[in-house]
Structure 1
């Protein structure tokens, strides 16, 4: 198995339905060091501005937080591993300080797999995906500028088995974010 998964393109409404319909687990593997997202651009700029002014990082609350809290209350589990290259990009610092701290407070298990620049963990692809209930694979296709191009639902059993293996491998080799962040200040600069 090589290359990228071949799936059925789905729109954002169908993606959101996957989050409604899953029963037990939602796992996310993140591999990019920057994500180009319109909905986060203002928060990212505020983060950089607050840092430059010496203002404590603000966290804010989002719809995702409420969704995770409700899912956790219903017995669901949310897990995420981000393979991060050190030194951290400004975006990853923002994602850690603004996003992960908040998601953890909502109940998500966020983990980090740190690597040095130029290295990559053996056995893990450079692919971003969500895996729902260990049986539904949502592949996320990003452009070179880190903007989301498409989402595809992959039903090929070989890819689903691989995604489960990647999840297990990533979870085993990663460390909880709350442990990882102790090496950094509020804005995720090394201490």
Structure 2
């Protein structure tokens, strides 16, 4: 991977095997498709083209045998935003081959307390995702390679404590 790929977008374009995401916030409503979130809040049906660009991006990788997966750390009851993200977003994104896991800390301690949101590519490159207090994306920072071992441990801990989204949703979904 070249220096030019050391941006979040460049890492997505260049990863070879897997892209892992850790999500830790209860509300990203100021960062994504605000209109879709408002439609969800109003009780409208999910548009057929909802998240179409992301699903296409995911599919372009998964069809080549690459893995895109994430763990979301959360507690119940779900915020309205999480009901939207999981009910609309995750379920739609799965159609492109993205995998989801839930680390539910409602009845247990959080093994990843104070760990930031991040994307982790091929166990080599970490991009920390920065958000303001209202859930608005404030940019990403690609970390130096000396931090990789730390993020391998975070990813592995997240997966060790998480359960597949489909199973979790069947028990706790709205």
Q: Tell me, in whole angstroms, the C-alpha distance in 2 between the residues paired with 1:154 and 1:38.
A: 22
State the partner residue of 1:129: 118
Q: Is the 8 A contact 1:33 1:84 kept in 2?
A: yes
Give the alignment's TM-score, normalised by structure 2.
0.88
Deviation at 1:178, TM superposition (A): 0.7
Q: Tell me, in whole angstroms, the C-alpha distance in 2 between the residues paired with 1:92 and 1:141.
A: 18
Deviation at 1:113, TM superposition (A): 0.6
2:96 paired with 1:103: no
What SS class does the counterpart of residue 27 from structure 2 fall into? coil
2:14 paired with 1:41: no
State the partner residue of 1:144: 133
Q: Tell me, in whole angstroms, the C-alpha distance in 1 between the residues paired with 2:9 and 2:100.
A: 20
Give the alignment's TM-score, normalised by structure 1.
0.81
Mapping for residues 4-153 of structure 1, pairs under 5 Å: 14-50=7-43, 57=46, 60-116=50-106, 120-153=109-142
What SS class does the counterpart of residue 116 from structure 1 fall into? coil
How many residues are aligned here? 168
Q: Is the 8 A contact 2:22 2:117 kept in 1?
A: yes
Extract unaligned runs of 5+ from structure 2: 1-5
CA RMSD between the two structures? 2.0
Extract unaligned runs of 5+ from structure 1: 1-12
Q: Tell me, in whole angstroms, the C-alpha distance in 2 between the residues paired with 1:122 and 1:79.
A: 19
Q: Is the 8 A contact 2:124 2:145 kept in 1?
A: no
